[in-house]
Chain A
Amino acid sequence: MSYTFIFIGRSGAGKGTQAPLLEESLKKIDSTTEIVRMETGNIFRSFIKGDKWAQQKAKSITDAGGLQPEFLTINLWSTFFIEHFRNDPHIIIDGTPRKPFEATVLHGAFEFFERKKPIVVYLNVTRDWATEKLMARKRNDDTAEGIAKRLAWFDTEVLPTIEYYRHNPAYQFIEINGERPVSEVHEELLVRSGLKK
């Protein structure tokens, strides 16, 4: 059986650190099945480099720390899915979905690709903890204001999506306290997802 993992959590919660670690562990456990890892943020950063009208507009939204429209996020991940979902790979998703109605569209995609019981990994960290992390690692496109904005829209837009998954029988929901050393978080994920017996 192929695994589907969805990492969800605030910016700075460690999704981008834990996703590659999970990929490595999966590879050790099952070296024959292909692993596809999708990082929505990366796809977006390369999208906004283009010169189409939509790309320029999306760039100005990013620059202002705003939230991208769903039709664009769905456009990007649906394109990725169609290109990469062959031969029933293990799938690791980081950065999708955000709003609940995007989660509903994503659910239709999982049914279409016959993905059984995706595992939602919620890396739970407080807003203060995330702020500190993000200020410390500050990329050049991060401003204090942009960071505050992103963390604020997580509360209004993404938290309802986490509740959508929490008691949903079609998913396995794992909530992990992310304010701990990287290796501990990773270990807990392996145990609770059943990858490590």
Chain B
Amino acid sequence: MSNAYIFIGRSGSGKGTQGALLDALIRGRDGADSLIYLETGRLFREFIKADGESNRMAKAINEVGGLQPEFLTVHLWSNFFVKNFRRGVNIITDGTPRKLLETGVLDTAFSFYGFKKPYVVFLNTSVGECKKRLLARGRADDTPEDINSRLAWYETDVAPSVDFYRNNPNYNFCDVNGDQSVEDVFEDIKKQLGL
């Protein structure tokens, strides 16, 4: 049976790192074609690089640190789904969903594809730890100011989605302490996923 794994948490909480570890584990067990990995951030960076009016408008929003409209994020991941979903594959989402409205739309996709009780891996990493990691990572968009604004909109925009999943009987919600070492976090995830 195929499963869906939704990685959710603050910027810097370890979603990409832990998602990659789970990706390797599942592909190692079931084969390279057994999983698709949705990384919305990457799709977005590609989108704003392309030429076109919508692409330029999205780029302008990005440059002032604004939040993109839901229709655009849904556009990107739904295209990815239509293109890549085959019968029987597992999926990891890293960076989707964010706002509650988007969470509702994603819910319709998982029912459509017949996933029973997707796993939500909530990487519960403290603000201090996230900041420390993001500063250490030192990407161009990881200035203290950008980091603070991303961590702030997590509270207003993404946290309601975490609450939506937390007590939802249609999902398996895993609350993982993300302040531990990478290895310990992954052990915890495996245990909670029953792997």
A128 to chain B, nearest CB (A): 31
Contact pattern, A 60-90, Cβ under 8 Å of B = 1, otherwise 0: 0000000001111011001101100110000
Q: A108–B70 contact, CB under 8 A?
A: yes
Q: B82–A109 contact, CB under 8 A?
A: no
A106 CA to B71 CA, complexed, in Å: 7
Q: B105–A54 contact, CB under 8 A?
A: no
**Is B78's CB within 8 Å of the partner chain A?**
yes
- Flag the segment in B83-91, B116-124, B136-144, B177-185 that touches A: B83-91
Contact pattern, A 93-107, Cβ under 8 Å of B = 1, otherwise 0: 000000001001110
A72 CA to B85 CA, complexed, in Å: 13
B105 to chain A, nearest CB (A): 5
Chain A residues, CB < 8 A from B101: 101, 104-105
Interface of A is mostly: helix
**Is A167's CB within 8 Å of the partner chain B?**
no
Q: A112–B106 contact, CB under 8 A?
A: no
Chain A residues, CB < 8 A from B20: none
- Flag the segment in B7-15, B49-57, B151-159, B187-195 that touches A: B49-57
Q: B79–A74 contact, CB under 8 A?
A: no
Interface of B is mostly: helix
Q: B57–A74 contact, CB under 8 A?
A: no
A72 CA to B112 CA, complexed, in Å: 9
Q: Given A52-B82, A53-B85, A54-B85, does the pair A71, B109 have CB atoms closer than 8 Å?
A: yes
Q: A108–B106 contact, CB under 8 A?
A: no
Q: Given A69-B111, A81-B54, A82-B54, does the pair A53, B87 have CB atoms closer than 8 Å?
A: yes
Chain B residues, CB < 8 A from A82: 52, 54, 75
Interface size class of B (residues with CB under 8 A): 20 to 34
The 8 Å CB contact of A78, one of B52, B74, B86, B104, is B74
Interface size class of A (residues with CB under 8 A): 20 to 34
**Is A111's CB within 8 Å of the partner chain B?**
yes
**Is A49's CB within 8 Å of the partner chain B?**
no
**Is B81's CB within 8 Å of the partner chain A?**
yes
Residue of A whose beta carbon sits closest to that of B53: A86
Chain A residues, CB < 8 A from B112: 54, 57, 69, 71-72
Residue of A whose beta carbon sits closest to that of B106: A71
Chain A residues, CB < 8 A from B105: 70-71, 74, 101, 105
Chain A residues, CB < 8 A from B69: 108-109, 111-112
**Is B72's CB within 8 Å of the partner chain A?**
yes
Interface residues in B85-136 by Cβ distance below 8 A to A read 85-87, 101, 104-106, 108-109, 111-113
Q: A109–B108 contact, CB under 8 A?
A: no
Q: A78–B53 contact, CB under 8 A?
A: no
A101 CA to B78 CA, complexed, in Å: 16
Contact pattern, A 109-148, Cβ under 8 Å of B = 1, otherwise 0: 1011100000000000000000000000000000000000
Q: B52–A112 contact, CB under 8 A?
A: no
Q: Told that A72-B109, A78-B78, A85-B53 touch, could you supply 9 new A-B pairs with CB distance under 8 A?
A: A52-B83, A53-B85, A71-B106, A74-B78, A75-B78, A104-B70, A105-B70, A109-B71, A113-B54
Q: Which 4 A-B pairs have the closest CB atoms?
A: A75-B78, A69-B108, A108-B69, A78-B75
* Chain A interfacial positions (CB closer than 8 Å to B): 52-55, 57, 69-72, 74-75, 78-79, 81-82, 85-86, 101, 104-106, 108-109, 111-113
